[in-house]
Structure 1
Amino acid sequence: MRFTHVMLLTLTGCLLLMTAAVAQHAKPIKVELIKQGDTYTLLRGGKPYFIKGAGGSTYMDRLSAYGGNSVRTWGTANGQQVLDEAQRLGLTVTMGINMARERHGFDYNDAEAVAKQLETVRAEILKFKDHPALLAWGIGNELNLEYTNPKVWDAVNEVAEMIHELDSNHLVTTMLAGINQREIDYIKEKCPALDLISVQVYGGLAAVPERIRATGWEKAYMVTEWGPTGHWESPQTPWKAAIEETSSEKAAVYKSRYEAAIMKDRHCIGSYVFLWGQKQERTPTWYGLFTEAGEENEVVDVMQYLWTGQWPLNRAPHLDSIRLDGRKALDFIYLQPGKTYPLDVAVTDPDNDSLSTRWELLPESTDLKSGGDRESRPQAIPGHVTNATVSQARFTTPEQSGAYRLFLYVTDGQNNVATANIPFFVQ
């Protein structure tokens, strides 16, 4: 048995190496944009290709199984691995090119630093340009966020020109935070080498077609990040804690906003939903479609429906409400230290699966960044929820005053989850 096991591992390793080698030496697939009347169509290998994508390279097997066809990265780290895995699964990759940001201290007046960056990018393009899973290049991420120097767009165009010289098979874009007249004007003036723009919009997704047309942008575009209502555009408590939608509220807005914009606009060639994975950004649940354990929330069900027209056979629990002391998050809850209060949950399961709950108390995050920069997860405080059932529990507040957030996870035993949290202040 041991010999057989070793042989199997060796054979598996050889097959993986062969797959990688084949992908590395396979011919690139031509990608181009065509315009017919008022409609833009992306062609890949001469065939129409509407991007049904997700941001992130985790759970790529699930993305493929659920009807997605593309992933988007923020840089070329692990680029070979991502491209090879995408090729194996029948997916494509919009490969991010990491560009230094002014908000992190980079000076686009420094010609030597800009030239050095260009040479770094050149090496990245040469390394991956012929991979058959490659779809497009994305120059930088939200370079317009907290910036003042328009020379960044000269650098973007210089990279785009270089890419076109080295790689005639793939499209080139840049990812913008929001839709602003100033940036569109700069790009029209300074970045003629870009094939299209990419925008990243959250709460305002439904208005994207109208807003883009209002700027005078007449070419194609894609949406490279979209998702729940962003923490910067959500209601806030008096102690400045943003109020997060429940997973079920998110599912509703993902569906309605996608159908209103991405699905309908003839200038949009597709999108990348955010985030196909999990991350700490304001909270551990705000943007990820998965928990840290890989459980899928209701938004994943919605994405499968939007991509395929079919709902999954087993769906996530649906959370109607969560109340602390009879109050919801928008009631801006103040509580006394060391007191016990009731928790009430209204949740159902479409498949009548048996549900279970877990609760987690966190201090309100203070490691707050912008632009998706890495944040640290607050340390959980155990032991404050008792007598928990699916619909009720008892919660005893911490003795120390301050801002906290109580998280609820409802699971169905099928790797599906509903999530919610409720911020409160102890005083």
Structure 2
Amino acid sequence: MHKDGKPFTIKGAAGKGHLNELFEAGGNTFRVYDTIHLDSTLIKAEKLGISVIVDIPVPRYNKNYNYYSNSQNNKELKKWVGAFVKRYKNYPALLFWNLGNEVEYPFTIFKNDFIKTYNDLIDIIHKEDPDHLISTSINAASRKQTLSIHLHSPHIDVIGYNVFGSIADVKPLLSEVFTYTRRQIPHYYSEWGNNGPWEEKKTIWQSPIEPTSTKKGEQYKERFTDHLKSNEDGLGSVVFYWGQKQERTHTWFNIFDEKGRKSQAYYSLKSIWKNTPVSNDSVPQIKYMLVDDKGSQDQLIFTSNDTLESKLLFNSTIDTSLVFKWEIYPEAWYYKEWDIEKKPAVEENVILKSLRDKAIFKTPSKEGPYRIFVKVIDKKGSFSTANTPFYVLKTSDDK
């Protein structure tokens, strides 16, 4: 890919805000899902010399509830997309359009309502804005979706892959698809990072076990080195999530916290983009957390109102200036893929005593799944996190 007449490789992040930090870390591209504040994002990106991949939201395909079977829906969608592209096409920071995130492109021999409308949208965008490419992003290294896009939407310019634990599957997939189609639509990694909640080991009550932020930072570095650094046939990659969001937990994917502090992942990415060594003294290095001297994989089940101790182990000496924040939250029990999640309410009056790297806590009185979280904050604007899931059983003596 070329930009302004020069070869251009995407070194990007997907999320919301923190453009100054992206520039300082050596990133050159920002993928934005938020269309409400798009004007200000494009203007700021231009000032920083950052290119922007703009998501155009379209309804996902669902055979049980087919939005695209309604001709009026399709008419309104085409009108809206055309107007959207017309409004933003002349911003200098615009790199290309992303038509739908994880649209669940159907695997079918014959074009259905979704595919026909989707191809019409591609044509509308190309006609309105012939100067920018159009991509779409699919979840995981989906063989069916990749083949179906090659078969039915040949005018799409780029395919993005949202891959986390399945990042190693993309290159073999592309080789296989080429043997069938004898062509290969250009690709990039539209989301990548540490394993998602759906990919990690789970407790017996199906709570995913989240790695420490230190381990996640290591995972970013390893995955780039193993799978992305030598990906010369691709257009580049976009890391997830540049910002702060709730997805199963409020710490799972976040490269920043709600105050803008930086995690280990930020420093790993800065090392990647600037080709410099990772500085391990940039952020507190957590090894793991123990609760009642047991780890997350020990299936921690307690009775209500138990008094327990949780403690952190570190890879290095604890700085005396570090601040420790211990909290307990109920598990996001009703998590559903693609839902916009809300952070659960913190449990009140359950942390009895905080002793920096240790905490004495009381298990909640209500039966159910919980997590104990700790955030370790330094004076340099960095933070580390760890959490441990546990289950509370209400005893017959509890009223």
Q: TM-score, normalised by structure 1?
A: 0.85
Say if 2:106 and 2:148, in contact at 8 Å, map to a contact too.
Answer: no
Task: Show the counterpart of 2:35.
Answer: 76
Instruction: Verify: 1:133 aligned to 2:99, yes or no.
Output: no
Instruction: Verify: 1:235 aligned to 2:209, yes or no.
Output: no
Query: Out of 361, 365, 370, which is 1:395 matched to?
Result: 361
Deviation at 1:210, TM superposition (A): 2.0
Task: Show the counterpart of 1:309.
Answer: 275
Task: Show the counterpart of 2:397.
Answer: none
Residue deviations 1:337-365, cap 9 Å, x none? 21212212112569957322111100111
Say if 2:141 and 2:169, in contact at 8 Å, map to a contact too.
Answer: no
- Any idea what SS the aligned residue of 1:241 has? coil
Instruction: Verify: 1:52 aligned to 2:11, yes or no.
Output: yes
Deviation at 1:185, TM superposition (A): 1.8
What is the number of equivalent residue pairs in this alignment? 385
Instruction: Verify: 1:421 aligned to 2:381, yes or no.
Output: no
Q: Which moved more, 1:87-96 or 1:346-355?
A: 346-355
- Any idea what SS the aligned residue of 1:388 has? strand
Task: Show the counterpart of 1:28.
Answer: none
User: Identity of aligned pairs, percent?
Assistant: 29
Say if 1:353 and 1:413, in contact at 8 Å, map to a contact too.
Answer: no
Residue deviations 1:41-100, cap 9 Å, x none? x10011111111111231111111111111112253222111101001111100110112
- Aligned-residue Cα RMSD (Å) equals 2.2
Say if 1:329 and 1:423, in contact at 8 Å, map to a contact too.
Answer: yes
Instruction: Verify: 1:195 aligned to 2:157, yes or no.
Output: yes
Q: Which moved more, 1:401-410 or 1:107-116?
A: 107-116
Instruction: Verify: 1:100 aligned to 2:59, yes or no.
Output: yes
Q: Unmatched 5+ residue regions in structure 1? A: 1-41
Task: Show the counterpart of 1:320.
Answer: 287
Deviation at 1:266, TM superposition (A): 2.0
Work out the CA distance in 2 between the residues paired with 1:158 and 1:146: 16
Distance 1:90 1:151, change over 3 A: same
Work out the CA distance in 1 between the residues paired with 2:175 and 2:215: 29
Say if 1:143 and 1:152, in contact at 8 Å, map to a contact too.
Answer: no
Q: Which moved more, 1:399-408 or 1:107-116?
A: 107-116
Say if 1:317 and 1:410, in contact at 8 Å, map to a contact too.
Answer: yes
Q: Unmatched 5+ residue regions in structure 2? A: 394-399
Distance 1:333 1:228, change over 3 A: same
Distance 1:267 1:154, change over 3 A: farther
Distance 1:353 1:345, change over 3 A: same
- Any idea what SS the aligned residue of 1:130 has? coil
Distance 1:57 1:379, change over 3 A: closer
Say if 1:231 and 1:242, in contact at 8 Å, map to a contact too.
Answer: yes
Say if 1:75 and 1:97, in contact at 8 Å, map to a contact too.
Answer: no
- Any idea what SS the aligned residue of 1:274 has? strand
Q: TM-score, normalised by structure 2?
A: 0.91
Task: Show the counterpart of 1:204.
Answer: 166
Q: Which moved more, 1:415-424 or 1:376-385?
A: 376-385
Task: Show the counterpart of 2:141.
Answer: 179
Instruction: Verify: 1:111 aligned to 2:78, yes or no.
Output: no
Instruction: Verify: 1:121 aligned to 2:81, yes or no.
Output: yes
Task: Show the counterpart of 1:89.
Answer: 48
